[in-house]
Each structure stands twice: as C-alpha cells, then as structure tokens.
Structure 1
Amino acid sequence: MDVSEITIPGDTPGTEWRLPVLRFQGRDPKAPKVYIQAALHAGELPGTVALHFLCERLRQAESEGGIASDITIVPQANPIGAAQSHFGDLQGRFDLGSRTNFNRDFPLISVADRATLLDDLDDYPATDRLKRQLLHMALGADLVLDLHCDDESLQYAYIDEAFWPEAADLATALEMEAVLLSDGESSAFEEAVGFAWKYEVPGERRSRLPGRLSVTVELRGKRDVDPMLAKQDADGLWRFLAARGIVGEEKVLPAAFSGPAVPLDNVEILRAPEGGAVLFHRNIGQRIAEGELLATIVSRPGQPGGSIDLHAPQDGLVLTRTSDRLVRRRGDLMKIACDGPSSALRKAGTLEN
C-alpha cells in the first residue's frame, strides 16, 4: 500500500488541509480500476470505518499478489468539512464559507478533459480545489463508489439508470434494502463522474455505460458507526470487488438483488406542515399502506387542536427518518420508496439539498 497526501492550501494565511490517499497496486494493467471515497459529507462516518477494515484485507491481498487492478481509497474525503464546528456541533455537509453542499457543484466535464481539472488550481478557493482533485482521481478509475449515510436509514444506494441493472451485484453484495434509480441530472460527485463518461465524445450522450459504475452508497444512518457493522460493510465491499474479478482467485457471483429499485419520482418525502415535536408511529424498514398514520406533529402542546396527524400518501417502504424530534416547518421527516410515482412535483436532480 502506498500512502500519499494531497495538500490543499487554505483561503487565509497560515491554513492548509491534508487529504490522505491510499493506493493498492494490481497485477493486471487491463483490469478495471477502482476508486472508493468516504465522508465527503464529513460527519458521515460509516464508510470511513468500513474502509479501515477493507484496507486491512487489501494490504494482505496485495502482499500475496491477490489484487488484479489498481485500487485508490480516500477514507476521509473532506478535511475542510471535518474541521468545521459551530458551537461544538460538526458542520460537515455544507461549506460554511460559500454555504454550498460539499456534494454539489462538481465540474461537469467530458472525461477527455480530465487533465484540465488540475489546471490553474491556485485560481480556485479551497473547497473547489478539493472537489476538482477528488473528481480527477475518480475519473482515472472505472468503478467509483462514494460512501455516505443518511440520518436514520436503511442501507440503500443512488444509482444512475445508465448503470442498472448491471450494478445489482453491488446492491446484493452490500445487502442493500433498496435502490433509488437517479436521473443523472445533478452536479453531485457520483453524477459528475457519470456525466464525464456519458459525454466522453463531446456532444454525444451515451445512455448505457457497460463495465463502469459510479454510485452513492448510503450505509444506514449517522449513528451506525459500530465495529460489527463496519466489518460487515467491509465484507460487502470485498464481495463486490471479488464479483468483479478485482480481488481473490475466483469470481464470487452473488444472488440476484431482491429489494425494490425505484426511480426518484417514486420517492415520497413526508414533510412537516408546521414546526413542533414529532411523534413517529412507523419506523424505518416497515412496509406501510396508503392512509396509514405515520407521524404526529405537536405544534401547540396542551392546546385544543394543537397537533397534526400525517398519513401515508401511498403504499411503500419507509427508507429514512429524521433523527430530530423538534422539526421546522417543511422539514423532511421520512423518505418512502413506493411502487408508483409521487403526485408531488420534483425537479430533475437530487432529492435534497
């Protein structure tokens, strides 16, 4: 294993950030290259600890000549966000300087222009330099995994329809409970990678990308940072790499993915009509029926009519739930994966900011 650091100068005198990069060398230069990163949202740590245990297995495999392709691991992809605390609370999702989500505004370029990402880096603020260097590394690979987590959540993934159903082996290996098929219309990291591949020939859009993969994996919830879960996730990543012939002596073909795979238009987002204390009547992982009571918002405690009941808009699977119990007006409470499209209008791109 080779360990190096990318230094990112800060935007004020005397500050800089260091980004550790771990590289494992494969024996077959023609094998598909792999790039895996975690904690782009700096407070989302299940992926970081999973990669810690995965790298133990990769070091052993590398010493035995058991890795076919080059593998690049960035276990803590956002040192800038990791250093942002506000009154003791980590603020790792948004850059406090620009108010931009760390997983948005990645450059949308053709892979043919990959080298330009590193041109004139000194002209960019630190967050943009970070994003350009992460994207540059990822575009040197064929299989790209961006490890995140949700709030209270099942294990699921956002996968561009251009990679489905080929990517079902990843869903099976990681024992995902759902897949959300994205439209590839945002500037999030995994979609910027997919964009670059789709427009490899400028002006020509490819709708299928066989042999390639760029995906956002949601490794359950923020509090699911646990040694057993981390080792379980590392084993799942290993199974995926083995199934693709990247590690191990033989390919391991997992069983078919049996969970729901639905487009983003089929995701119902339950939102709070008023602020207040939320009482949940259903938990993540439960199947629900249309009209079923899901949550109660206590907006004026002790007063007549001081609470509001929220019901399921259609049948579905409760995918995520907020961990907050004091919620704001229009705050997201639940994501529900459904068989049919939501009646709520949705812009192309991501479900949330």
Structure 2
Amino acid sequence: MDTSEIIISGDTAGIEWRVPVLRFKGSDSSAPKIHIQAALHANELPGTALVHFLCEMLRKAESAGQIRSDITIIPHANPVGAAQSHFGELQGRFDLGTRTNFNREFPLISVKERDGLVANLSRYDAVDRLKRQLMHMALGCDLVIDLHCDDESLQYAYIDDAFWPEASDLASALDMEAVLLSDGESSAFEEAVGFAWKHETAGEKKTQLPGKLSVTVELRGGSDVYPDLAKKDAEGLFKFLAKRGAIDAAVTLSPFTGPAVPLDNVEMIRAPEAGTVLFHRNLGDQVSEGDLLATIITRPGMPDGTVEVRAPQAGLVLTRTSSRLVRRRADLMKIACKTASKAERKAGTLEN
C-alpha cells in the first residue's frame, strides 16, 4: 500500500488541509480501476470505519498477490468540514463559509474535460479545489463508491438508472435493504461522475454504462459506527470488488431481493407543524396507506395539542430523523413505495 496526500492551502494565511490517499497497485491493467472515498460529509463516519477494516483485508490480499486492480481509497475526504464546529457541534454537511452542501456543486462536465478540473486550481477556494481534485481522481477510474450515511436509516444506496441492474451485485454484497434509483440530475459527487461518463460524446447522452459504476452508499445511520458493522460492511465491499475482478478471490453472491424504486416513489414525510415527535413506526416497518406514523405534540398539556402524521401510501420505512424536536416542514421519514408519490418532486436529490 502506497500513501500520499492531497494538500489544499487554506483561504486564510497559515492554514492548509491534508487529505491522506491510500493506493494499492494492481497486476492487471485491464482490470477495472477503483475509487472509494468516505466522509465527504465530514460527520458521517460509518464509511471511514468501513475502509479502515477494508484496508486490512486489502493489505493481506496485496501480500498474497491477489490485487488485480488499481485501488484508490480516501478514508476521510473532507478535512475542511471536519474542522468546522458550531458551538462545539461538528457540522460536516454544509460549509460554514458558503452554506453550500459539501456534496453538491461538483462540476458537470464531459469526461473528456477531466484534466481541466485541476488546471489553474488557484482560481478556486479551498472547498472547490478539494471537490475538483476528488472528481479528477474518480474520473480516472471505472468503479466509484462514495460512502455516506443517513440520520437513522436502513442500509441503502442511490444508484443511477444507467448502472442498474448491473449494480445489483453491490446491493447484494453489502446486504442492502433497498435501492433508490436516481435520475442523475443533481450536482452531487456520484451523479457528477455519472454525468461526465454519460456525456462523453458531445450532443449525445448514454443511458446505459456497462462496466461502470458511480454510487452513493448510505451505511445506515450516523450513530451506527461499531466494529462488527464496519467489519461486516468491509467484507461485503471486498466481495463486491472480487466479483468485479479487482481482487483475485472466488466469491458467490446471492441475488438482490430488496426493493429498487425510483426517487419519484419515495414519500418524503414532513412535519405539518412544529413540536415534539412521537414515532409509532420503526425503521424497516412495512406500512399501509393511512397507518399512523407519528404524533407531533404541538401544544403540550392541551386537549387539542397533538397532530397525527399518517402514511400517504404503503411502503417500507427507510429512514427516520434522529431529532425529536422538529420545525414545521422538517423531514421525518423516507418511505420507499411501489408507486409514485403524489407530491411534486424536482429532479435531483431528495434533500439539500
């Protein structure tokens, strides 16, 4: 394993950021090149724990001469966000300087414009320089895996239609409980990478990208950082890499049997009023139309001081907020359904 660093000078004097990059050299130039990164949202750490144990496995495979692919791993992709706390609480999702989501505003370019990402980097602020260098590395690869987590959540992934159903092997290897099929219409990291591949030829847009993959994996919830889970996920990702020919190891994967639904089929359950949330349904529950999902105490102690939140249609409770005091219109749950939501949804991501 070789190690290096991306060094990003700060936007104020005396500051610089260092991003460790771990590389395993493959023996087969025809094998798919791999890019794995974690904690682009700096406070989402299940992926960092996963790659810690994955690197142990890869070092053993390296010693045994089993690494066929060039594999690049960035265990914590966002030191800028990791240094940003507000009143003692790590933020991680939004840059405090610009209020921009660290996983948005990646350049939407053709893969042929890849080298332009790192040309004249001094023109950009620190966060944009970080984003451009991460994307430049990813576009030199074939399989790109961006490890995130949700708030309280089952294990699932956002996978562009262009990679499905080929990517069902990743869902199987990581024992995912659902897949959300995205439309590739946002500037999030994995969608920007997919955009570059799909628009390789000017005036054309590919709808299928066999042999390629750019994916956001949601490794359960933000507090699900445990050695047993991280080791299990590392073993699953190792199996996926072996299945795709990156590692010389025999693996068998069962077919993925979970739901794979378009983003239009996800019901975003939001709080109709502000107050204290009492959940009646847990992660993984199958609910029916009209089922009581939560009660919000809007006026504590008053006879008319609660509001009920019910399921608009049947589906799987995929995520839930960890907050129990919510504002009006705050996200409470995601429910993956068999049919489209009646609520309007803009193209792109489900949340900011």
TM-score clears 0.5? yes
Indicate the residue corresponding to 2:135 in structure 1: 135
Q: Amino acid of the residue matched to residue 284 of structure 1?
A: L
AA at the equivalent of 2:62: E
In angstroms, what is the RMSD of aligned CA positions?
0.6
Give the alignment of 1:154-165 within 5 angstroms. Answer: 154-165=154-165
TM-score by length of 2: 0.99
* Corresponding position: 1:51 with 2:51: yes
1:339 aligned residue: 338
**Structure 2 gaps, min length 5:** none
Per-residue CA distance 1:214-234 (angstroms, 9 max, x = gap): 000000000000000000000
1:63: Cα distance to partner?
1.7
Matched, 1:17 2:17: yes
SS of residue matched to 1:51: helix
Describe the SS at the equivalent of 1:314.
coil
TM superposition outliers: structure 1 runs of 4+ over 4 Å: none
1:61-76 alignment to 2 at 5 Å? 61-76=61-76
Quick one: distance in 2 between partners of 1:91 and 1:160?
Answer: 28
Name the SS of the counterpart of 1:319 in structure 2: strand
Match of 2:41 in 1: 41
Partner of 2:222: 222
How big is the shift at 1:246? 1.1
**Partner-residue secondary structure (3-state), 1:162:** helix
Distance in 2 between the 1:261 and 1:56 partners?
A: 32
| 2:260 alignment counterpart | 261
Matches of 1:55 and 1:226, distance apart in 2: 17
TM-superposed deviation, 1:241: 0.6
Secondary structure of 1:166 counterpart? coil
Match of 1:168 in 2: 168
Give the Å deviation of 1:98.
0.5
| Deviation for aligned residue 1:64 | 1.7
Q: Structure 2 CA distance, aligned partners of 1:328 and 1:105?
A: 26
Q: How does 1:301-320 map to 2 (within 5 A)?
A: 301-320=300-319
Counterpart CA distance in 2 for 1:253 and 1:161 is 24
| Distance in 2 between residues matched to 1:68 and 1:259, nearest whole Å | 30
Residue in structure 1 matched with residue 212 of structure 2 by the alignment: 212
- 1:286 Cα deviation after fit: 0.5
1:254-278 CA distance string (max 9 Å, x none) = 1110000000000001100111100
Q: Tell me the SS of whatever aligns to 1:67.
A: coil
Per-residue deviation, residues 171-211 of structure 1 (Å, max 9, x unmatched)? 00000000000000000000000000001112211000000
Aligned to 2:102: 102
Distance, in Å, in 1 between the alignment partners of 2:67 and 2:202 is 34
3-state DSSP of counterpart to 1:130: helix
Q: Give the letter aligned to residue 125 of structure 1.
A: D
Name the CA distance, whole Å, in 1 between partners of 2:67 and 2:271.
49
Matched residue of 2:114: which SS? helix
Where does structure 1 lack aligned partners over 5 or more consecutive residues?
Answer: none
2:17 counterpart SS class: strand
Distance, in Å, in 2 between the alignment partners of 1:328 and 1:242 is 45
Give SS of 2:72's match. strand
Match of 1:351 in 2: 350
Paired residue secondary structure (1:238): helix
C-alpha separation in 2, matches of 1:287 and 1:26:
44
Secondary structure in 1 aligned to 2:7?
strand
Change (3 A) 1:308 1:284: same
SS in 2 for 1:304: coil
CA–CA separation in structure 2 for the residues paired with 1:299 and 1:134: 44
Residues in 2 aligned to 1:86 and 1:177: alpha-carbon distance in whole angstroms: 34
1:4 partner letter: S
Q: Distance in 2 between matches of 1:299 and 1:14?
A: 49
User: Number of aligned pairs?
Assistant: 352
Letter in 2 for 1:178: A
SS in 1 for 2:29: coil
- Report the alpha carbon displacement of residue 249 of structure 1 after superposing the two structures with TM: 3.4
Counterpart secondary structure, 2:68 = coil
Distance 2:273 2:13 in 1: 44
The alpha carbon displacement at 1:111 in A equals 0.6
Aligned identity (percent) is 72
Secondary structure at the aligned position of 1:7 is classed as: strand
